[in-house]
Amino acid sequence: MIQVYTHPACLAHETGPGHPERPGRLNSVLRALENAHPTIDWQQAPRASRGQLLRVHSEQQLEQVLEHPPVELTLLDADTVLSPGSAEAALHAAGAGIAAVNAVMTQRTERAFCAVRPPGHHATQNRAMGFCLFNNIAIAACHAIDVYGLERIAIADFDVHHGNGTQAIFEHEPRVLFASSHQWQLFPDSGARSETGCGNIFNDPLPEGSGSTVFRASWSERLLPAIRAFKPQLLLISAGFDAHARDPLAGLKLEANDYYWITRQLCEIADIYCSGRIISMLEGGYDLVALAESSVAHVDALCI
């Protein structure tokens, strides 16, 4: 049983000609899921409230993103764009994760996929960066802790870029485990094995060209055992598909079947420790064909 959360506002976040994080990404995912799963349970993502965002982000960051919508495209840094539709998109992207937490915690579904943008895992407590405005997965995790009293939440991040924002937000929070595989070295130049937080951070940086065998070994031998040992009550996934061989921004050389494999591994853990509860949030993926195929493989695995 799976619900898919999205909202039309997420398509109104414009980033300008040639920007890889473009509305067409989400369109490709939605079309592919509609074709592959015609009976899927679509849910409209609500807006996150200010209080829900403040569990993770500073007042200054909320003001930057929400208070003064630009009349034209504005660069927050070299990669991160604010447009007239960005604030509404960011509110619904964050709200998707919150609604998904409510759904799995009240047994309305076991699993949820949040097909939203902008992505989130680079956003820190005080800074929008790396295409990300708010850290959607961190907001979902904090909602689960504050509202449902969870004491062990695991975040698995297989985006090709290290989720530096998620790590920074939780590196002193023992109730959250963060496990990440990512290409080394690549933006944002973080995620070394030596970065361990309070014993809750597990990074496995992979060299360019690693491919399926190295990726699967990374998770099988290091990251999945760490998650199992933590015995999470809820499993969250930062589902970036930019480690695919077709992706223009990196070079880990994965295929869609690798995303099916890692998702099934995570589902098995969730079935043992989390009563099946998984929430996945779309992060990167910039080749539209690869993104569509990988998203379908990921949701296929979540549906079993």
> Residue 290: what are its φ and ψ, rounded to 5°?
-65, -40
CB atoms within 10 A of CB 87: 22
Q: How far is CA 282 from the centre of its chain?
A: 5
Q: Which residue among the candidates 13, 121, 122, 298 is catalytic per the annotation?
A: 122
Contact criterion met (CB below 8 Å) for 49 and 146: no
| Residue 122 falls in the annotated catalytic set | yes
What is the DSSP secondary-structure string of the chain? -EEEEE-GGGG-----TT-SS-HHHHHHHHHHHHHH-TT-EEEE--PPPHHHHHTTS-HHHHIIIIIS--SS-EESSSS-EE-TTHHHHHHHHHHHHHHHHHHHHTTS-SEEEE--SS--TT--SS--BTTBSS-HHHHHHHHHHHHH--S-EEEEE--SS--HHHHHHHTT-TTEEEEEEEEES-TT----TT--TTTTEEEEEEETT-HHHHHHHHIIIIIHHHHHHH--SEEEEEE--TTBTT-TT----B-HHHHHHHHHHHHHHHHHHSTT-EEEEE----SHHHHHHHHHHHHHHHH-
Which residues are marked as active site? 122
